[in-house]
Amino acid sequence: MHELSIAQSLIDAVLDKTAGRAVMGVNLRIGPLSGVLPDALRFCFDVASAGTTLAGARLLIDEPQARGHCRECGTDFAMTDMFLLCPCGSADVAVVSGRELNLVSVEVA
């Protein structure tokens, strides 16, 4: 359950930037290829934020679509899993997006 470590990193990063102010909301961007499951992170966030200024804060997670670029046929396509395979059959694929694991912003009172 690496989401617990990630939730702890998230809380530490927010505490660093908010100087004790009550945190109302946290905005994240988590791509489907990042290796982090948004639902698991939500669960861990609720547990790990208890007793901090983040307790009860809304966790808004933007989940962008994963996209790949085929170096062979030049098309951009939606990736449904981590396998580097273009619909044209080529495996020479660059991951364009989907690996995001970002803390975008926080809303403080």
Partner 1 sequence: MCATCGCGDEAAPRVYSLEVPGLDVPGQEVPGPQAHEHSHEPGHSHTHDGHTHSHPHDHAHPHADGHSHTQANTPELIPLEQNLLAKNDLLAERNRGWLAGRKVRALNMMSSPGSGKTTLLVRTLTELGDRLQAGVIEGDQETSLDAERIRKAGRPVVQINTGAGCHLDADMLRRGLDALDPAMGSTVFIENVGNLVCPALFDLGEAAKVVVVSVTEGDDKPQKYPHMFMAADLVIINKSDLLPYVEFDVDECVRRIRRLNAHAQFLVLSATTGDGVTAWYDWLDGHPSRTETRAGSLAGPLEESLTDAH
Q: Provide the binding-site residues for partner 1, judged by CB under 8 A.
A: 1-2, 4-6, 9-10, 12-14, 17-18, 24-25, 27-29, 35-36, 58, 60, 62-65, 81-85, 91, 97, 101-109
Least distance CB 48 / partner 1 (angstroms): 12
Nearest distance, CB of residue 79 and partner 1, angstroms: 12
Tracing tokens 């995001």 back to the chain, one arrives at: 100
Q: Toward partner 1, which CB reaches closer, 2 or 76?
A: 2
HSE at residue 35, side-chain half, CA atoms within 13 A, is 5
* Beta strand extents in the chain (DSSP E only): 23-30, 58-62, 67-70, 76-78, 93-97, 101-108
